[in-house]
Amino acid sequence: MGVTVADIVARLGGECVGDAGLPIDRIATLEAATPSSIGFLANPRYRGQLASTQAGCVIVAPAFKGEAAARGTAIVTPDPYLYYARLSQWWVGRIRPATPRGVHPSAVVDAGAVLADSASIGPLACIGAGASIGAHTRIGARVVIADGCHVGERCIVHPGAVIGADGFGFAPDNGYWAKIEQLGGVRIGNDVEIGANTCIDRGALGDTVIEDGVKLDNLVQIGHNVHVGAHTAMAGCVGIAGSARIGAHCTLGGSANVLGHLELADHVHVSAATTITRSILVPGRYSGLFPFDDNAAWEKNAATLRQLHALRDRLRALEKKT
Amino acid sequence: MGVTVADIVARLGGECVGDAGLPIDRIATLEAATPSSIGFLANPRYRGQLASTQAGCVIVAPAFKGEAAARGTAIVTPDPYLYYARLSQWWVGRIRPATPRGVHPSAVVDAGAVLADSASIGPLACIGAGASIGAHTRIGARVVIADGCHVGERCIVHPGAVIGADGFGFAPDNGYWAKIEQLGGVRIGNDVEIGANTCIDRGALGDTVIEDGVKLDNLVQIGHNVHVGAHTAMAGCVGIAGSARIGAHCTLGGSANVLGHLELADHVHVSAATTITRSILVPGRYSGLFPFDDNAAWEKNAATLRQLHALRDRLRALEKKT
Amino acid sequence: MGVTVADIVARLGGECVGDAGLPIDRIATLEAATPSSIGFLANPRYRGQLASTQAGCVIVAPAFKGEAAARGTAIVTPDPYLYYARLSQWWVGRIRPATPRGVHPSAVVDAGAVLADSASIGPLACIGAGASIGAHTRIGARVVIADGCHVGERCIVHPGAVIGADGFGFAPDNGYWAKIEQLGGVRIGNDVEIGANTCIDRGALGDTVIEDGVKLDNLVQIGHNVHVGAHTAMAGCVGIAGSARIGAHCTLGGSANVLGHLELADHVHVSAATTITRSILVPGRYSGLFPFDDNAAWEKNAATLRQLHALRDRLRALEKKT
State the DSSP code for C77. -
- Annotated active-site residue C231? The verdict is no
With CB atoms and an 8 Å threshold, state whether A289 touches C308: no
Q: What is the mean pLDDT of residues C51-61?
A: 96
A267, A271, A277, A281 alpha-carbon torsion, rounded to 10°: -20
Residue B118: predicted pLDDT? 98
Q: What pLDDT shows up at residue B321?
A: 85
| φ, ψ for residue C194, nearest 5 deg | -125, 125
Closest residue to B298, CB basis, from A146, A183, A288: A288
Q: Which positions ≥6 away from B104 have C-beta within 8 Å?
A: A108, B121, B122, B123, B124, B125
Please identify every stretch of chain A with a pLDDT value under 50, giving residue numbers as ranges: none
Q: Which of C121, C126, C313 to mutate to test the interface with A (most CBs of A within 10 A)?
A: C126
Write out chain B residues lying below 8 Å of C317, CB-based.
none
Number of domains in chain B: 3
Nearest to A169 by CA among B140, B158, B45: B158
Q: Looking at residue A29, which CATH number applies to its domain?
A: 3.40.1390.10
What residues of A are annotated to the active site?
Answer: 224
Task: Kindly compute the dihedral angle of the four CA atoms of residues C185, C190, C191, C194, in this order, to the nearest 10 degrees.
Answer: 0
Q: In Å, how far are A1, A219, A253, C274, C288 from A295, measured between CA atoms?
A: 54, 29, 25, 11, 8
**How far, in Å, CA of C237 to CA of C218, rounded?**
7
Mean pLDDT of B54-80: 97
Q: Which of B132-146, B158-172, B260-274, C86-100 has the lowest mean pLDDT?
A: C86-100
- For A108, name the nearest residue in chain B, comparing CA atoms only: B123
Q: Are B70 and B121 part of one and the same domain?
A: no
pLDDT of amino acid C1: 57
C109 plus C203 within the same structural domain: yes
CB contact under 8 A, B241 and C236: yes
> Chain B partners of C106 at a C-beta cutoff of 8 Å?
106, 108
- Are the beta carbons of A201 and B218 separated by less than 8 Å? yes
Type and span of the H or E element at A186 = strand A186-188
Given B66, B95, B124, which residue is the final one in a domain? B95
**Residues A56-82: tens digit of each pLDDT:** 999 999 999 999 999 999 999 999 999
Same domain assignment for residues B69 and B140:
no
**Nearest Cβ partner of A199 from B89, B197, B315?**
B197
User: Do residues C274 and C152 both lie within one domain?
Assistant: yes
The domain boundary, picked from B48, B72, B95, lies at: B95
Q: Do A29 and A109 belong together in one domain?
A: no
* Spacing of C-alpha B210 from chain mean position: 13
Do both C266 and C125 map to the same domain?
yes
Task: Report yes or no: B146 and B127 within 8 Å, Cβ to Cβ.
Answer: no
Distance CA C258, CA B309 (A): 26
Query: CA-to-CA distance for A231 and C81, rounded, in angstroms?
Result: 51
pLDDT at A71: 94
pLDDT at B257 over 90: yes
CB within 8 Å: C197 and A195? no
Nearest beta carbon to residue A311 from set B32, B92, B315: B315
Which has the closest alpha carbon to C128: C166, C181, C164?
Answer: C164
Helix axes B295-305, B308-321, angle to 10 degrees: 60
**Window C:87-116, CB contacts with A under 8 Å:** 106, 108
pLDDT value of position C231: 98
Answer yes or no: do A312 and C315 touch at CB < 8 A: no
Among residues C158, C224, C227, C231, the one annotated as catalytic is C224
Angle between the N-to-C axes of helices C308-321 and B295-305, in degrees from 0 to 180, rounded to the nearest 10 = 50
User: Which of B158, B224, B227, B231 is labelled catalytic?
Assistant: B224
User: Do A25 and A159 fall into the same domain?
Assistant: no
Q: What is the mean pLDDT of residues B215-227?
A: 98
User: Closest Cα partner for B128 from C155, C140, C108, C88?
Assistant: C140
Q: Give B285 to chain C, closest Cα distance, Å.
A: 5
pLDDT at A2: 79
Domain CATH number, residue B148: 2.160.10.10
Considering only CB atoms, C141 lies closest to which of B144, B170, B175, namely B144
Instruction: Kindly indicate the confidence band of residue C203, based on its pLDDT and cuts at 50, 70 and 90.
Output: very high
Nearest to C153 by CA among C109, C213, C224, C206: C213
Inform me whether the C-beta atom of residue B273 falls under 8 Å from chain A C-beta atoms: yes
Residue B2 binned pLDDT confidence (cut-offs 50, 70, 90) = confident
Together in a domain, A184 and A314: no
8 Å CB contact between B137 and B155? yes
Question: Given CB atoms, is C78 within the 8 Å cutoff of chain B?
Answer: no
The pLDDT-based confidence of C322 (bands split at 50, 70, 90) is confident
Q: How far apart are CA C15 and CA C66, in angstroms?
A: 13
Helix/strand/coil percentages in chain A, nearest 5? 20, 30, 50
Task: State pLDDT tens for residues B267-307.
Answer: 999 999 999 999 999 999 999 999 999 999 999 999 999 99
Residues in chain C: 322
The domain boundary residue, chosen from C31, C66, C95: C95
Which residue range forms the structural domain that includes residue A252?
Answer: 102-286
One domain, residues B33 and B132: no
**Helix, strand, coil share of chain C (percent; to 5):** 20, 30, 50
Q: Which of A124, A178, A239 sits opposite B254 (nearest CB)?
A: A239
> With 0-12 CB in 10 A as exposed, 13-18 as middle and 19+ as buried, what is B31?
middle
Confidence of residue B136 (pLDDT cuts 50, 70, 90): very high
Instruction: Tell me: do B281 and B298 sit in the same domain.
Output: no
Q: Does A319 touch chain B (CB under 8 A)?
A: no
**Torsion angle, alpha carbons of C266, C271, C275, C277, to 10:** -40
Q: Does B174 touch chain A (CB under 8 A)?
A: no
A positions 49-68 inside 8 Å of C (CB):
none
Neighbours of A94 (CB within 10 A): 8
C122 and C250 within one domain: yes
Same domain, A278 and A312: no
Query: Are C218 and B206 in contact (CB < 8 Å)?
Result: no
